[in-house]
Amino acid sequence: MKSIMKPAALMLALILVLSLLGACGSQTAPSVSDAASVQASDVSAAENAESPAAEEPAAEASAAELPAEASEVEEVPELELGEVTYPLDAEGATLTYWLPWMPALSMLYTTYLDHPAYAAAEEATGVSVDYISCSQESAATEFNLMVASGTTYDILSGAAGYYNGGVAAGINDDVLLDLTDLLPEYVPDYYREFVTNPNWVKFATTDDGTIGAIYCFNAVELGLSSGNFIRQDWLDELGLEAPVTIDDYHDVLTAFKENYHISDPYVMNANLTSPLSYAFGTASFDVDNASSLAFFLEDRKVQSVFTSPKYRDYIGTLAAWFQEGLIGSDFFNRASDPMNSANTSIILGGQAGIWNTVMNNLVDYPKQATDPGFACAALPDALPSDGSLLTFYSSDPGSAGNASIGASSENWELALKWINFWSTEEGLLLARYGVEGVSYTMENGEPVYTDVIYNNPDGFIFQLARIMYCAASVPTFGDPRIVRDNVYSDEVIACTAVWESAYGSSDSYISSSVTMTTDESERFYGMYTDIGTYAQTELMRFVVGENSMDNWDEFVSHVESMGIEDCTAIYQDAYDRYEAR
């Protein structure tokens, strides 16, 4: 094999890439009994696995001054890469892979090895894999309990998000293996693609220049797959135009309330997070999670929402809308998930005017609604009163998880080569299409799904059939075009352009890849979690009228006394390091 690239060589390769870049300008329920709720959650997970990060919206390429799409990259300079051929010489070794279990798989399988794609991978790679699983819901807790007990495995799924303190802390604590110098030699097929995209490199690299996880990046980015919908039939009946600004939203919601006497003109999230905040130039705070980061950028400076006058205006607007009946009187008693049955029943029962959901519900909801005249249309997020575009475009690349190597693994070399398989042509086919002759055939040199996927005998919808026959939980490059082109009509796909038309830049967005040092994290959360716990109660009291907005300054003074300014300064330092990567 060729020699491993040292850090200096790796950084040189990245600099060459960056310099080159700088120079160039209804889904219906399957007919499997008692499985609807499990299937819905897993289908959502699978779709998220091949779509951009959804916490903050991404803007379309035609919006003003947005970054080039990930696919718009130049050829990378020839790199010194290792060569890995399959099957591997495993010499009887068995890899251990800690991989949370997708609940829907239980309808056909008992373990991952029962799954045809994972079984086929064992034959193709020549490597036996022992999968250790827990529920997805308890994965973060189980992971940290596992680490605390001193137990670890060769491959760890999701460690970059689960480990307290992040990847850098995991490497420093000898829990995660430093992969910086190992990727070119042992994971060359992955690295060859990875290094061509500066957004991927920046996202995966820690502040101290190390890489501790292999991320499942999207090969292409397709934009938003969820956003606002509005009752188009009501707009037409009232002779109204679709609202554009936050003031327009208010007027249309008021008209819906007065004319249709509905309970939830605007379906508000129970955790008080909403893109409505962007119209005021601020992020929002998740009152369901005391540790939820609630910061945004203003002139490249980190701002806390708790002390921002902009956030006060947002909360004040929610309070006013609540009093006017534009937000449901019991919204805080419902789940924050817009796809929760309680929220869905309000929409389908004709009690909602504007709500947030996934794109395929453009055609699904009219089929399920009690009102035969029900019609909805995609609606951009509300703009500020002056009509300027929103500045919360997400600059993060689409990623659906990650895999790390346990620092104590004796099989780390074999584990990395096994992971590399999923970036080869054969591995990509297994991940995206499954086993040839079972879930796909080759026609004119292209893979085409069989009826196991298109017309599944067990009644599984397309997305769920792919989970059942394709390897959806391995570290590979996702291709969201597969779901888009096979599931969504042109009418549904067009929702993306509508939603993204509201966004003009990422000037206010803070990347989720901004990380703190272990010391910073301890100091930060030592103060911030208490602040968040206090805010959880107080913010909701403002919105529902139990506390007057006249007392907002007292709220600000209290969070300042608890250390919010120190928290902001710590986060600023972390952000500055991220920008300097």
- Can you spell out the DSSP letters for 413-452? HHHHHHHHHTTSHHHHHHHHT-SBTTTEEEETTEEEE-HH
Query: pLDDT tens digits, residue range 328-375?
Result: 999 999 988 888 888 999 999 999 999 999 999 999 999 999 999 999
Q: Is residue 564 part of a domain?
A: no
DSSP 230-246: EEHHHHHHHT-PPP-BH
Domain carrying residue 456: 94-215+401-477
Task: Give the range among 1-10, 343-352, 467-476, 545-554 with minimum mean pLDDT.
Answer: 1-10
CB-facing half-sphere around the CA of 21: CA atoms within 13 A: 19
pLDDT attached to residue 316: 98
Indicate whether 35 belongs to any domain. Answer: no
pLDDT of residue 194: 96
Q: Report residue 75's pLDDT band, with 50, 70 and 90 as the boundaries.
A: low
CB distance 543 to 319 below 8 Å: yes
Axis-axis angle for helices 309-323, 246-260 (nearest 10) = 10
Query: pLDDT at position 401, please?
Result: 87
Which one, of 63, 66, 43, 65, lies nearest residue 395 by Cα?
Answer: 66
Q: Which residues contact 117 (CB under 8 A, 6 or more apart)?
A: 430, 431, 434, 435, 469, 470, 471
Would the pTM count as exceeding 0.95? no
Tokens describing residue 278: 């962007």
* 2 band by pLDDT with thresholds 50, 70 and 90: very low
| Residue 388 covered by a domain | no
pLDDT of residue 338: 83
Determine, yes or no, domain membership for 260: no
Structure confidence by residue, pLDDT tens digits, 472-493: 899 999 999 999 999 999 999 9
Cβ pair 409, 388 in contact under 8 A? no
In a domain, 162, yes or no: yes
Q: What's the pLDDT score for residue 78?
A: 67
Number of domains in the chain: 1
Give the C-alpha separation, 208 to 172, whole Å.
Answer: 11
In a domain, residue 126? The reply is yes
For residues 33 and 240, which has the higher predicted lDDT (pLDDT)?
A: 240
Provide the Cα torsion 253, 255, 258, 262; round to 10°. -40
Instruction: Find the mean pLDDT for residues 259-275.
Output: 97
Distance CA 408, CA 23 (A): 43
The pLDDT assigned to 164 comes to: 78
Answer yes or no: is 181 within a domain: yes
Give the C-alpha distances (Å, rounded to integers) separating 47 from 35, 79, 464, 535. Answer: 18, 33, 10, 33
Q: Are 422 and 428 in contact (CB under 8 A)?
A: yes
Other beta carbons less than 10 A from residue 379's beta carbon: 25
Domain CATH for 448: 3.40.190.10
Instruction: Decide: 181 and 7 in contact? Cβ < 8 Å.
Output: yes
DSSP output for 445-480? TEEEE-HHHHT-TT---HHHHHHHHS-TTSSS-B-T
pLDDT averaged over every residue in the chain = 87
Pairing of strands 264-266, 399-405: unpaired
pLDDT at 213 over 50: yes
Report if residue 442 sits inside a domain: yes
Output Rg (C-alpha) for the chain, integer angstroms: 24
Which is more confidently placed, 54 or 496?
496
- Average pLDDT of the residues in 394-406: 89
Amino acid 429: pLDDT: 97
Confidence (pLDDT) at 399: 79
pLDDT band, residue 77 (cuts 50/70/90): low
* Cα dihedral value 464, 470, 474, 477, nearest 10: -100
In this structure, how many other beta carbons lie within 10 angstroms of the beta carbon of residue 87?
Answer: 12
Order of strands, sheet of 376-379, starting from the edge strand that comes earlier in the sequence: 264-266, 352-358, 226-231, 376-379
